[in-house]
Amino acid sequence: MHELLRGDWHVHSTFSDDAVSSLEENVAAAAAAGLTALRCVDHVRASTTWVPELVAAIDALQVPEVLAVRSGIEAKILDVDGRIDMPPGVVLGAGGIDAVLLADHQVPSPDGPWSPRATIEALQGGLPPRTVVDWILEATTRAAHRVAGHGQIAHPFSILPKIGLDEDAIDDERLVWWAEELATAAALVEVNEKWACPGPRALRALTAAGARVVASTDSHVASDVGRYDRVVGLLQGVRR
């Protein structure tokens, strides 16, 4: 087994309104799968008030000695400046949340998040794909620097197929720059089972830059915790 597959760094619980398993069920599933690392993550917005309760619930978990459990919140990157849709005053580190998972749920444009539909319309109207790609790259790296040492890039580039693009739209020079910036910000970068991203080119760039890559299922139900298929293929592609 590839060493990355011994961890699942993005697992949702019932603190998220679209997940069905409890924290306890996720821990039990991780232990049953033989994992050694688990990050319990839930979706937030700026208006979210329950983050202290999430921290307390994770701290209270009964966890096998072989399993290290970490906490996280998943928040949308809002714009090209890397603003993050997370509650103000969230404590990062000791006594708080271990990491902020930075997500490209929408396109982070200079004037705020664009939906996939709005972005497609802009591309059809003549907006260059390179411009949109640059927004995503710059927004992601700037967001990582905002929470330096506590960032994890959630499902990198998952927004691209939603707007009719793919990772081939990113040239090698910009991909290397992105990877080096994330390494400088000490961000973890996940290779994500649910969205099958990022691809082998990006993973090779991250490895060359010295960025830390972790595996995640993005599970919303305990039965998916630690179960990898698409990630295995992506990691095999790196070796080719």
pLDDT tens across 55-100, in order? 999 999 999 999 999 999 999 999 999 999 999 999 999 999 999 9
Q: Which parts of the chain register pLDDT below 70?
A: 1, 240
Smallest Cα–Cα separation from 205: which of 222, 215, 217, 191? 191
pLDDT of residue 240: 65
Report the CATH fold assignment for 3-238.
Answer: TIM Barrel (3.20.20)
User: Is there a contact between 106 and 116 (Cβ–Cβ < 8 Å)?
Assistant: yes
Structure tokens at 113: 């998040």
Q: Which of 195, 213, 194 is nearest to 204 (CA)?
A: 213
> What is the percentage of the chain residues whose pLDDT exceeds 90?
97
Residues 6+ apart with CB under 8 A from 191: 4, 197, 198, 203, 213, 214, 215, 216, 231, 234, 235
- What is the rounded CA–CA span in Å between residue 177 and residue 183? 10
Task: Tell me the CA distances in angstroms from 55 to 11, 107, 231, one per residue in order.
Answer: 15, 29, 28
Question: Residue 51 has what pLDDT?
Answer: 97
CB of 38 closer than 8 Å to CB of 70: yes
